[in-house]
Amino acid sequence: MAQTILITGASSGLGAEMARQFADRGYDLALAARRTERLEQLAAEIRTAHPECRVALRALDVTDHAAVFRVFGELRDELGRLDRVVVNAGLGKGAKLGTGRFEANLETAMTNFVGALAQTEAAMEIFRAQEAGHLVMVSSMSAMRGMPSAMTTYAATKAGVAHLAEGLRTELHGTRLQKKIKVSVLYPGYIRSEMNDKVAQSTPLMATTEKGVAAMVAAIEKEVADACVPPLPWAALAPVMRHAPLGVLKKLI
């Protein structure tokens, strides 16, 4: 029986490309997102390429916390089990703190952190019942350090979700569930997607969606604890971002 993977935020960008690449690897898919028409288009594309692939779809706004638990349960029931859950849904909105744009920052915080908390809770309820599963948290290279201006709240949420996942891994360490439930945190750098379409697409650090997601999928398949993706240049830049003086950091970003 094929392994199953649930991906949130699957209607576009990294989530949609992950769905394609996991279908290529023989997975059955549980896909959730707000934009159902895009989900239907993606499912049709995948079913044409892989007629044997089971694709279960649900509309989901991750800020509707009751819906997160309901949808995760429905997708588990439809596919029989959930082997992996990728907490991917997120927003890239934000504004400088104290400039009258609190609502934009609040929306990002509620989606990226509180929404991720709801997804993690729902996934872990399923994994604890199964006594098996793999939670994958999509963080960001911006989580390595506090970011300025419009990135401040976004980066803080991505640091928060990384700590959420790492805390869970610490809890499981040394218990009977350590080898049964795995937890991975991915730190993507610049990967072309709708979320970062305002970033200069000509930057040499910008990976194509296909290449960037291939690195993410490879890390997920290895069940690594954490990974900067793509590894080059981001694994090398991570310690620089963490420890560089603020003046140097500002020039880098």
What is the set of active-site residues?
A: 154
Query: d(Cα 47, Cα 109) in Å, to the nearest integer?
Result: 35
Q: Are 34 and 59 in contact (CB under 8 A)?
A: yes
Q: Are 209 and 194 in contact (CB under 8 A)?
A: no
> 216 Cβ partners below 8 Å, 6+ apart?
14, 18, 138, 186, 188, 229
Backbone angles phi, psi at 226, to 5 degrees: -155, 155
Q: Which residues of 12-42 are buried (b: 16+ CB within 10 A; e: fewer)?
A: bbbbbbbbbbbbeeebbbbbbbbebeebeeb
Q: Are 115 and 211 in contact (CB under 8 A)?
A: no
Q: How many CB atoms lie within 10 A of CB 81?
A: 16
The DSSP call for residue 191 is B
Backbone angles phi, psi at 190, to 5 degrees: -75, 110
Q: How many CA atoms lie within 13 A of 63 on its CB side?
A: 10
